[in-house]
């Protein structure tokens, strides 16, 4: 993406772990194991105040944290974060209260080594998915190289744009929410990550480059019966089932390299439909659990001289039949955030009353903000009032910016 992150290398495309969008990690004050700290709030713009309560920061104690999701009862959140003294993301959970969101101590669930990403609770709350490269036979060298690069960057003052490696040793694992009972679900060479459960918990969507480029796959919750759902050149990733399990929303750059757009397809991979197009990047789609709304992250890339700013956008959708075939259409999106920092990777709580996302908002003490998780309550009446209706016209999606 121009002037933002390096799109030149195939391995640095846009997976679910794209969090910082160019921001460097900033050391955060550790959170004591038996302590909670007061929340940090963020000043809102008039636009944000129209649709969201004032965002509350809910993570701290890690250099950066993001891509968070709620447990089924919203009593916990899971996410990935970079700990002090280690170069790669690890998976964490922490207690969460919807009535009084606040920062609580993170609990590491992953092994503490290797790259990790994409945690997600099972619908019954008994299992936690995530991807990890901790079985990499050359892990010590991988860690050594990462530390050496970080030390050199610190010495020279180099500010690297964010990138994500499609680690060929990344596999999908399942654990209990306390980190016990680890089970490896994928064993095929190549990158396996970006995983999420079906609404009934029987199946798992994931992304793999086992056939040469990243595509979307489906498997049973025990790792059996793997089925490939997409098979076009380019990156397809970040898949999530709709609440009724009939549709899958995902991101793809198959039309233009690195320029992600939102697509949907049926649960069997059929009836693939583009919901967005145009000179922008739209990614990280997530379904509202009870309303016909789809939220995503978007930025306008039409002006190569301007630094794109990533914000949250939401659209009304309608699913049904057209000429006897399944179809899903969206209305024009509504912008929910306009903070100068990056607002990315939105996720609704299971009851739909809370919105959590990754943002770089905390400028306490004038410091450069690191990405952390923030929570707010959407104003459903105002959003519903301002959302555009779904057009009745058929055909290709009109250009949407963003």
What whole-number distance in Å separates Cα of residue 305 and Cα of residue 308? Answer: 9
Find out whether 221 and 197 touch, Cβ atoms under 8 Å: yes
What whole-number distance in Å separates Cα of residue 7 and Cα of residue 325? Answer: 37
| Among 159, 210, 225, CA closest to 24 | 159
What whole-number distance in Å separates Cα of residue 172 and Cα of residue 118? Answer: 9
| CA angle (341, 348, 295) in 5-degree steps | 65
Return the pLDDT at 103: 97
Over residues 31-42, the pLDDT tens digits come to: 444 444 444 455
Asked if pLDDT for residue 5 goes beyond 80, the answer is: no
Residue 111: band (very low, low, confident or very high) from pLDDT cuts 50, 70, 90: very high
Range with the lowest mean pLDDT among 31-40, 122-131, 201-210, 214-223? Answer: 31-40
Residue 161: band (very low, low, confident or very high) from pLDDT cuts 50, 70, 90: low
In 3-state terms, what secondary structure has residue 147?
A: helix
What whole-number distance in Å separates Cα of residue 156 and Cα of residue 162? Answer: 17
Return the pLDDT at 365: 57
What whole-number distance in Å separates Cα of residue 310 and Cα of residue 301? Answer: 10
Asked if pLDDT for residue 22 goes beyond 60, the answer is: no
Find out whether 387 and 316 touch, Cβ atoms under 8 Å: yes
Over residues 258-300, the pLDDT tens digits come to: 999 999 999 999 999 999 999 999 999 999 999 999 999 999 9
The pTM of the full predicted model, rounded to 2 decimals, is: 0.89
Residues 153-176 have a mean pLDDT of: 82
Find out whether 62 and 83 touch, Cβ atoms under 8 Å: yes
Asked if pLDDT for residue 194 goes beyond 50, the answer is: yes
Return the pLDDT at 154: 77
Asked if pLDDT for residue 353 goes beyond 90, the answer is: yes
Which CA distances in Å does 248 have to 81, 196, 217, 237, 385?
Answer: 27, 11, 11, 11, 26
Return the pLDDT at 18: 44
Return the pLDDT at 87: 93
Fold of the domain spanning 10-386: Neuraminidase (2.120.10)
Over residues 292-334, the pLDDT tens digits come to: 999 999 999 998 888 899 999 999 999 998 888 999 999 999 9
What whole-number distance in Å separates Cα of residue 277 and Cα of residue 282? Answer: 9
**Burial profile 337-361: b = 16 or more Cβ within 10 angstroms, e = fewer:** bebebbbbbbbbbbebebbbbbbbb
Return the pLDDT at 14: 46
- 119 DSSP assignment: E
Asked if pLDDT for residue 254 goes beyond 80, the answer is: yes
For 274, phi then psi, to 5°, come to -85, 130
Over residues 211-241, the pLDDT tens digits come to: 999 999 999 999 999 999 999 999 999 999 9
Asked if pLDDT for residue 370 goes beyond 70, the answer is: yes
Domain regions of the chain by residue span: 10-386
Residue 8: band (very low, low, confident or very high) from pLDDT cuts 50, 70, 90: very low
| Among 97, 95, 106, CA closest to 66 | 106
């Amino acid at each position: 993406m121009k002037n933002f992150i390096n799109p030149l290398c195939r391995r640095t495309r846009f997976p679910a772990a794209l969090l910082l969008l160019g921001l460097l990690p900033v050391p955060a004050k550790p959170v004591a194991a038996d302590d909670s700290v007061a929340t940090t709030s963020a000043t809102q713009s008039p636009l944000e105040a129209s649709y969201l309560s004032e965002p509350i920061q809910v993570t701290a104690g890690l250099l950066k944290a993001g891509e968070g999701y709620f447990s089924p009862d919203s009593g916990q959140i899971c996410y990935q974060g970079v700990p002090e003294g280690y170069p790669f993301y690890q998976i964490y959970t922490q207690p969460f209260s919807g009535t009084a969101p606040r920062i609580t101590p993170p609990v590491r669930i992953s092994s503490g080594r290797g790259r990790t990403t994409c945690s997600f609770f099972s619908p019954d709350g008994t299992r936690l998915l995530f991807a990890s490269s901790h079985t990499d036979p050359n892990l010590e060298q991988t860690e050594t190289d990462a530390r050496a690069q970080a030390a050199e960057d610190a010495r020279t003052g180099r500010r690297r744009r964010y990138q994500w490696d499609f680690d060929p040793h990344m596999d999908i694992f399942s654990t209990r929410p306390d980190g016990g009972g680890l089970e490896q679900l994928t064993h095929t060479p190549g990158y396996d990550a970006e995983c999420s459960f079906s609404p009934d918990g029987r199946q798992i969507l994931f992304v793999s480059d086992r056939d040469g480029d990243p595509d979307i796959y489906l498997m049973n919750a025990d790792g059996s019966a793997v089925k490939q759902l997409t098979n076009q050149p380019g990156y397809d990733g970040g898949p999530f089932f709709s609440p009724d399990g009939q549709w899958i929303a995902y991101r793809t750059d198959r039309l233009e390299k690195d320029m992600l757009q939102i697509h949907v397809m049926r649960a069997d991979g059929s009836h693939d439909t583009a919901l967005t197009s145009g000179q922008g990047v739209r990614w990280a789609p997530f379904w509202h659990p009870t309303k016909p709304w789809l939220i995503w992250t978007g930025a306008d890339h039409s002006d190569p001289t301007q630094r794109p700013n990533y914000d949250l956008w939401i659209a009304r959708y309608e699913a049904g039949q057209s000429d006897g075939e399944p179809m899903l259409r969206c209305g024009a999106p509504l912008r929910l955030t306009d903070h100068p920092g990056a607002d990315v990777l939105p996720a609704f709580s299971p009851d739909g009353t809370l919105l959590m996302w990754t943002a770089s908002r905390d400028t306490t003490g004038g410091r450069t903000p690191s990405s952390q998780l923030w929570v707010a309550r959407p104003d459903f009446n105002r959003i519903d009032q301002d959302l555009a209706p779904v057009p009745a016209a058929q055909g290709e999606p009109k250009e949407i910016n963003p």
